[in-house]
Amino acid sequence: MKASKLALAAALVLFGSMSHADAYKAQTSSPNGNFKIDPVHSMVEFWVGHLGTSEFPGRFDSISGEFTVDDAHPGSDKVSVEVPISSLDTNFEKRNKDLLGPDYFNEKQFPTMTFTSTSVKLDKAGVGELTGNLTLHGVTKKVTFSLRHVGAGPDPWGGYRSGYVAKTTIHRSDFGMNYMLNGISDAIEVQINIEGKRQ
């Protein structure tokens, strides 16, 4: 009896786990709706070359904004993102302080980085381009990201979520950040990971 009860309990646990996984399995199509960015599951990451010998990562831990998807009205999709420069982290306190200072991001004078889309293009596979205006260090430039829809589906708390990854390369000198270009790379790889909750 004990063995059969144990087997039954194991089966129920396995079945429950499988049901949970199936219930929250993300779909690949990009769903319609207005989504608010979840800052806990979203991040801006970047990679910087150092002295031509290495590349080190950094990130911005705080991000807010929203995005809208509307298949019935092509061209109306939009994205807006705001990032406080003070949320920068490169895993080294002194370097963080240097990067936030006047030689680089100058966080006191330019406390916020923003992006507002002008065009969103995704094919049926969820791959495409995101173009818009990036404002950084007091300068606004047109930037195009490669865009990929990661997936979408219900969350365990009754909500519905959708997420994307956007990648591009910018040149910091385009935004007036010219300090030590001979030692720290001008080209900066950027990746934005966004998860949004439908409103």
Residue 155 lies in a domain: yes
Q: Is position 2 within any domain?
A: no
Q: Are strands 33-37 and 43-50 parallel, antiparallel or unpaired?
A: unpaired
Positive or negative CA dihedral for 35, 26, 163, 166? negative
Report the chain's mean pLDDT, rounded to a whole number.
89
Number of domains forming the structure of the chain: 1
SS3 label, residue 26: coil
The pLDDT tens digits of the residues spanning 69-107 come to 998 887 899 999 999 999 999 999 999 999 999 999 999
Residues 18-66 have pLDDT tens digits of 344 444 445 556 789 999 999 999 999 999 999 999 999 999 999 999 9
Tell me the Ramachandran region of residue 41: left when phi exceeds 0, alpha when psi lies from -120 to 50, beta otherwise: alpha
In a domain, 89, yes or no: yes
- The answer as to whether 11 is a domain residue is no
Integer angstrom CA distances of residue 96 from 60, 63, 64, 86, 185:
11, 18, 21, 9, 17
pLDDT 10s digits, 174-190: 999 999 999 999 999 99
Asked if residue 10 belongs to a domain, the reply is no
Domain that holds residue 166: 27-198
Whole-number pLDDT of residue 60: 98
- Give the global pTM: 0.85
The DSSP secondary structure of 115-176, one letter per residue, reads EEEEEEEE-TTSEEEEEEEEEETTEEEEEEEEEEEEEEEE-TTS-EEEEEEEEEEEEGGGGT
CATH of the domain at 111: 2.40.128.110
Residue 134 lies in a domain: yes
